[in-house]
């Protein structure tokens, strides 16, 4: 039951202006201070229609509202503020959560429409660095939220497995590499060669030309360079899968840039047929009115990211028939996606309207961007392993007899790393700090996981006293917890609307705090209200578990 929708329906029936319920829902606010009510409707937009001050409109509307769900209705300035009937609302919310369980907060907004999500996309032949964590966990969480809202997400790991950098790597391997060393330690050795190439190229710029020539040979299907490239890609995927397994993330497609090599001629042909290709300094471009031209082919005939991305977008639409296609890629690529979407629009594809770039800030180290090229990077696998070790150490100190210590340490350590990213609004940069990331107090996943485990412990101890139907919930001290539980469906929808998982992360922290405060204030098991209080605990457990799941984090039942 969504009480915001109930309030919106009441408002629509009271006012004589033709206004859609959906519009009213978007206008309803939560007052800043609890004493001002639970929900508020601003009347300012109605002033022009009624030709009255908002304050007067609010007073008139508040007198008309009568429903058992509202304990009190007040006009406060230009707002209609309502105070929910705590007993009525609490009983309905708890019954709904306990009945629906993990489906609480689910909607069918998406009506089964497919949404492709371009996420993670690390470069082959390089270690999986912290720099790729953001795209991976933001994209995965958005997929879970989309699924919760009735869409069918298709997660695509658009691997960086093509481009001039691979020509450079092939030159580096042929010049300084050893097959034995690469076989023994593939990613680290290839990464060392890549970094060495760029150091040498600073003194010998001709190396860059050799790198470009090697990539041209690769594009032309030269047997030796193609064999090396396939080997590099295969070894990289094996390493990446270790990371994805640790994070609990899987993909529906691992088609990288190279997959579209045989699909780019068609793109060029379509652009020519639409008279969109123009020559500029020997290169071929598509002129765009509101930004720089989009480069399709270089002078030497090699293709670029844009060419492949146009081919990829067309392929995905023809394969998946998506209603939306999301690109979870750093904000520094904003111009690229603006150009890409404009080119597809000029090509006459109406589905271009469903394309969206989901940008995010960088993970910085000492205030600077991590550079793979210069070898200044932090490896995600090392961070995850250290987080798990720290979690295991904490568990051994606090609960040495705990069963499945290794599994719970994995859930807690990995959860800490994921949550540290997702609790921050995606457009903000994150300063890399292992100490902050692995902190197990405050606004962290372990704090939420521990709250969930505490709820599970209470339920185990009071198992025979749980009643799964609530006729009358009158525990007023639980209201701060109930009001948050009530907001969970709205938080999910807001996270979807803004493509912002941090809204869910902030919510589970807030709910954990409210529940722990309640736990410290009342006696749950030793009380004449034990049945209704355990029903509340059960509802909190369900919502915390589901909130963490939507972030891609597991919820241990013991810690």
The full DSSP string for 406-474 is HHHHHHHHHHHHHHHHHTS-TTS-EE--HHHHT--SSSSHHHHHHHHHHHHHHHHHTGGG--S--S---
User: H-helix or E-strand containing 531?
Assistant: helix 530-550
Both structure tokens of 504:
């869910």
Contacts within 8 Å (CB) and 24+ apart, 262-271? 263/311, 263/314, 263/315, 264/303, 264/307, 264/308, 264/311, 266/311, 266/314, 267/296, 267/307, 267/310, 267/311, 267/314, 268/296, 268/297, 268/307, 270/347, 271/296, 271/343, 271/347
- The CATH class that applies to domain 3-84 reads alpha beta
Query: For residues 330 and 527, what is the distance between their CA atoms, to the nearest angstrom?
Result: 52
Categorize the per-residue pLDDT at 371 as very low, low, confident or very high, splitting at 50, 70 and 90: low
26 exposure class (CB count in 10 Å sphere: 0-12, 13-18, 19+): exposed
Overall average pLDDT of the 358-365 stretch = 88
- What pLDDT is recorded for position 78? 94
Tell me if 282 sits within 8 A of 299, measured CB to CB: yes
* CATH 1.10.730.10 placement within the chain: 380-550
pLDDT digits (tens, 9 = 90+) for 52-111: 999 999 999 999 998 888 999 999 999 999 999 999 899 999 999 999 999 999 999 999
Cβ atoms < 10 Å from Cβ of 497: 12
Residues carrying CATH 3.40.50.620, the chain: 114-261+320-369
Quickly state the pLDDT bin for 376 (edges 50, 70, 90).
low
d(CA 105, CA 469): 19
**Helix, coil or strand: residue 372:** coil
For the CA atoms of 219, 225, 231, 232, the dihedral, rounded to the nearest 10 degrees, stands at: -70
Confidence tier at 1 by pLDDT (50, 70, 90): low
Q: Point out the least confidently predicted range of 149-153, 201-205, 340-344.
A: 201-205
Percent of the chain with pLDDT over 90: 67
DSSP single-letter state for residue 65: -
Q: What's the CATH code, domain 380-550?
A: 1.10.730.10
At a CB cut-off of 8 Å and minimum separation 6, what does 60 contact? none
Distance CA 230, CA 207 (A): 22
Give 370's pLDDT tier (boundaries 50, 70, 90): low
H helices of 81-222, where?
86-100, 133-148, 164-176, 179-184, 186-203, 206-219
440 falls in which pLDDT band (50, 70, 90)? low
| H/E element, 284 | strand 283-286
Mean pLDDT value across residues 428-436: 79
pLDDT number for residue 255? 94
Contact criterion met (CB below 8 Å) for 351 and 315: no
**Which one, of 70, 355, 373, 124, lies nearest residue 255 by Cα?**
124
Hey, how many other C-beta atoms are within 10 angstroms of the C-beta on 353? 11
Pick the range with the lowest mean pLDDT from 10-19, 132-141, 349-358, 421-430. 10-19
Q: Report how far residue 115's alpha carbon sits from residue 320's, in angstroms, rounded to the nearest whole number.
A: 8
Task: Give the Cα separation of 408 and 392 in Å (integer).
Answer: 8
Tell me the pLDDT band of 501, cut-offs 50, 70 and 90.
Answer: very high
Taking alpha carbons only, the member of 83, 71, 68, 52 closest to residue 15 is: 52
Interstrand relation of 283-286 and 324-328 (parallel, antiparallel or unpaired): unpaired
**Confidence tier at 50 by pLDDT (50, 70, 90):** confident
CA dihedral of residues 155, 26, 81, 88 (deg, nearest 10): -50
Q: What pLDDT is stored for residue 466 in this prediction? A: 67
Q: Which of 185, 144, 167 is nearest to 228 (CA)?
A: 167
Contact 311, 263 (CB under 8 A): yes
The ranges of the chain annotated as CATH 3.30.1360.70 are 3-84
Look at residue 81 in the predicted model and tell me its pLDDT: 96
Question: Among the listed ranges 147-156, 405-414, 459-468, 550-559, which one has the minimum average pLDDT value?
Answer: 459-468
Contact 52, 62 (CB under 8 A): no
Q: Is the predicted pLDDT of residue 368 greater than 80, yes or no? A: no
Mean local confidence (pLDDT), 38-51: 91
With 70 as the cut, is the pLDDT of residue 460 above it? yes
Q: What angle do CA 499, 504, 505 make, to 5 degrees?
A: 115
DSSP assignments along 450-461, one per residue? HHHHHHHHHHHH
Beta strand 355-358 with 363-365 is: unpaired
What pTM did the predictor assign?
0.90
Question: What is the structure's pLDDT at 377?
Answer: 67
**Chain-wide mean pLDDT for the chain?**
91
Question: In degrees to the nearest 10, what's the CA dihedral of 383, 389, 393, 398?
Answer: 80
Look at residue 303 and tell me whether its pLDDT is greater than 70. Answer: no
Per the model's pLDDT, the better-predicted residue between 434 and 305 turns out to be: 305
Whether the per-residue pLDDT at 486 is higher than 60: the answer is yes
Alpha-carbon gap, residue 157 to 386, rounded angstroms: 26
For residue 372, give the nearest of 58, 132, 65 by alpha carbon. 132
CATH architecture of 114-261+320-369: 3-Layer(aba) Sandwich (3.40)
The SS3 assignment for 112 reads coil
| Tens of pLDDT, residues 532-544 | 899 999 999 999 9
Contact 499, 437 (CB under 8 A): no
- Quick one: which of 318, 222, 201, 230 has its CA closest to 266? 318
Q: Which two tokens stand for residue 92?
A: 């309905």
Would you state the pLDDT for residue 189?
92
**157-179 pLDDT per residue, tens:** 999 998 888 999 999 999 999 99
Q: Which residue would you say has higher pLDDT here, 341 or 24?
A: 341
pLDDT in tens, 246-276: 999 999 999 999 999 899 999 999 999 999 9
């Amino acid at each position: 039951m969504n009480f915001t929708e109930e309030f919106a329906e009441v408002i629509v029936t009271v006012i004589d202006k033709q206004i859609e319920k959906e519009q009213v829902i978007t206008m309803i606010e939560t007052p800043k201070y609890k004493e001002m009510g639970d929900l508020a409707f601003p009347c300012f937009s109605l002033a022009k229609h009624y030709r009255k001050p908002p304050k007067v409109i609010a007073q008139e509307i508040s007198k008309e509202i009568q429903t058992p769900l509202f304990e009190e209705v007040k006009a406060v300035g230009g707002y209609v503020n309502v105070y929910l009937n705590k007993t009525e609302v609490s009983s309905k919310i708890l019954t709904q959560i306990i009945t629906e369980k993990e489906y609480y907060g689910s909607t069918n907004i998406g009506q089964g429409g497919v949404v492709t999500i371009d996420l993670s996309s690390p470069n082959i032949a390089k270690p999986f660095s912290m720099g790729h964590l953001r795209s991976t966990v933001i994209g995965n969480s958005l997929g879970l939220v989309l699924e919760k809202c009735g869409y069918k997400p298709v997660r695509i790991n658009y691997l960086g497995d093509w481009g001039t950098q691979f020509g450079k790597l092939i030159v580096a391997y042929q010049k300084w590499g050893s097959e034995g060393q690469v076989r023994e330690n593939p990613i680290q050795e290839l990464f060392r060669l890549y970094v060495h190439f760029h150091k040498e190229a600073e003194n010998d710029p001709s190396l860059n030309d050799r790198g470009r020539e090697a990539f041209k040979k690769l594009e032309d299907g030269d047997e030796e360079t193609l064999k090396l490239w396939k080997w590099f890609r295969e070894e990289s995927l094996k390493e990446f899968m270790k990371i994805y397994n640790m994070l609990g993330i899987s993909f529906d497609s691992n088609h990288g840039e190279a997959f579209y090599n045989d699909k780019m001629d068609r793109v060029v042909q379509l652009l020519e047929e639409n008279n969109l290709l123009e020559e500029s300094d020997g290169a071929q471009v598509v002129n765009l009115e509101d930004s720089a031209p989009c480069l399709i082919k270089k002078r030497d005939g090699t293709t670029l990211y844009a060419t492949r991305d146009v081919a990829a977008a067309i392929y995905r639409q023809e394969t998946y028939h998506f209603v939306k296609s999301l690109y979870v890629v750093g904000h520094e690529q904003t111009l690229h996606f603006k150009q890409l979407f404009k080119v597809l629009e000029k090509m006459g594809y109406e589905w271009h309207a469903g394309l969206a770039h989901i940008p995010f800030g960088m993970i910085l180290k000492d205030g600077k961007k991590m550079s793979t090229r210069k070898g200044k990077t932090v490896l995600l696998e090392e961070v995850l392993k250290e987080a798990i070790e720290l979690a295991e150490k904490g568990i051994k100190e606090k609960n040495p007899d705990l069963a499945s210590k290794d599994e719970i340490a994995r859930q807690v350590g990995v959860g800490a790393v994921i949550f540290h990213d997702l609790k921050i609004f995606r457009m903000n940069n994150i300063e890399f700090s292992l100490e902050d990331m692995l902190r197990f107090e405050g606004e962290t996943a372990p704090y939420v996981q521990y709250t969930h485990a505490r709820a599970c412990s209470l339920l185990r101890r009071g198992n025979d006293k749980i009643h799964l139907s609530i006729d009358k919930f009158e525990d007023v001290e639980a209201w701060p917890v109930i009001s948050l539980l009530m907001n969970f469906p709205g938080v999910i929808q807001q996270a979807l609307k803004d493509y912002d998982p941090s809204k869910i992360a902030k919510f589970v922290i807030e709910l954990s705090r409210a529940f722990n405060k309640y736990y410290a204030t009342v006696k749950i098991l030793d009380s004449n209200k034990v049945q209704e209080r355990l029903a509340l605990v059960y509802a909190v457990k369900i919502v915390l578990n589901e909130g963490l799941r939507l972030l891609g984090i597991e919820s241990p039942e013991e810690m």
